[in-house]
Amino acid sequence: TRILGIEGTAWAASAAVYDCATDDVVIESDAYEPESGGIHPREAAEHMHEAIPRVVETALEHARQTHDGPETEPPVDAVAFSQGPGLGPCLRIVGTAARALSQALEVPLVGVNHMVAHLEIGRHTADFDSPVCLNASGANAHLLAYRNGRYRVLGETMDTGVGNAIDKFTRHVGWSHPGGPKVEAAAKDGAYVDLPYVVKGMDFSFSGIMSAAKQAHDDGVPIEDICFSLQENIFGMLTEVAERALSLTGSDELVLGGGVGQNARLREMLETMCDQRGADFHAPEPRFLGDNAGMIAVLGAKMYDAGDTIALPESRVNPNYRPDQVAVTWRGESKR
């Protein structure tokens, strides 16, 4: 089976081809980089409109060149696309492209939940059976675990997404988007200053710490110290809830997903926590962490194999598509 995946929930216009036989994933991405400020939905959609045809054509060209079957056969068996959650104007462009391609190539369409894809790429690359997943991305932050046919949201942000909180702070201090890598670099020279730490039950909140960090900067606290403390507290909150999720489910596997998962300090904290509990920790390679079509193609292939394809009328995009709305069809007989 070979699947074309298309991703376009926010900043990454991306297309990929996943070959199940070889487990190869070829990804072609084109990132939107705001000239100033954060992600502007209209500009992001304009970028999507311009870049999606190009990345899809490059991925399809690769699929055609590596296809052994007769030329009359389509180069891929299905088209999978990010159906949500994400920015509506971006999702609509990707949805339109996916529908058009599925009709032109005469192959089925697979609608993929972007957050479940962030999770499944970790489970796939680790070859874990039933892990807890920490999705730490720009617009979201979730602890997820599978139970009775669905990924349940065990914990989540009560306000802003984790990456967005960091990016809002860096925008305030005049650093260009995305802020995460810049905070990580500056934090290396920092010392701890007191900032809010908010975990309520299994949920966490980032808006208070983001405002306090902005205020600390305005008050003249050294920026390295704020960056260091932001990382310690935000990642400490995520690690605390991840540990509680492992304890609650009895799972001894943790996978990390999402763009913030590229942060070495977050990985170190999670790794230490897992080591102390005797759990296995896995973070996928960086190309699978930030938004990318590889994860859409890989989950798309699992869904396609399970017969989980959609007809055109069901292919509407959903900007608020939650991971627990997805009926999991592709896991077969999992342990839990």
Among residues 75, 138, 300, 323, the one that binds ligand ATP under rule CB under 6 A: 138
Region of 51-59, 144-152, 254-262, 316-324 interacting with ligand ATP (CB under 6 A): 254-262
Give residue 59's identity as a one-letter amino acid code.
Answer: A
Verify binding: residue 167, ligand ATP, rule CB under 6 A: yes
Cβ neighbours of residue 270 closer than 8 Å, sequence gap 6 or more: 134, 238, 239, 242, 254, 256, 281, 283
Task: For residue 258, state whether it binds ligand ATP (rule: CB under 6 A).
Answer: yes
Map 276-328 to HEC letters: HHCCEEECCCHHHCCCCHHHHHHHHHHHHHCCCCECHHHCCCCCCCCHHHCCC
Q: Do residues 225 and 252 touch, judged by C-beta distance below 8 A?
A: no
Nearer to ligand ATP, 277 or 287 (CB): 287
Is 139 among the residues that bind ligand ATP (CB under 6 A)?
Answer: yes
DSSP secondary structure string, 83-96?
EESS-HHHHHHHHH
| Binding region for ligand ATP (CB under 6 A) out of 48-56, 146-154, 192-200, 255-263 | 255-263
Among residue numbers 3 through 32, which ones bind ligand ATP (CB under 6 A)? 9-11
Determine contact, residues 151/197, Cβ cutoff 8 Å.
no
Nearest-angstrom CA–CA distance, 304 and 164: 33
Sole window of 67-75, 158-166, 242-250, 323-331 interacting with ligand ATP (rule: CB under 6 A): 158-166
Nearest-CA neighbor of 136 among 7, 5, 16, 269?
Answer: 269
Residue 213 touching ligand ATP (CB under 6 A): no
Indicate whether 229 belongs to the interface with ligand ATP (CB under 6 A). Answer: no
Q: Which stretch binds ligand ATP (CB under 6 A): 58-66, 71-79, 177-185, 246-254?
A: 177-185
| 16/31 Cα distance (integer angstroms) | 14
Both tokens assigned to 132: 């807890």
The per-residue b/e assignment along 120-130, b for 16 or more CB within 10 angstroms, e otherwise, is bbbbbbbebeb
> Binding string to ligand ATP for residues 275 to 314, with x set by CB under 6 A, is what?
---------------xx-----------------------
- Asked if residue 161 binds ligand ATP (CB under 6 A), the reply is yes
Q: Does 226 sit near ligand ATP (CB under 6 A)?
A: no
Q: Is 51 in the site for ligand ATP (CB under 6 A)?
A: no
Chain residues binding ligand ATP by CB under 6 A are 9-11, 86, 114, 137-140, 161, 163-164, 166-167, 178-181, 184, 258-260, 262-263, 290-291
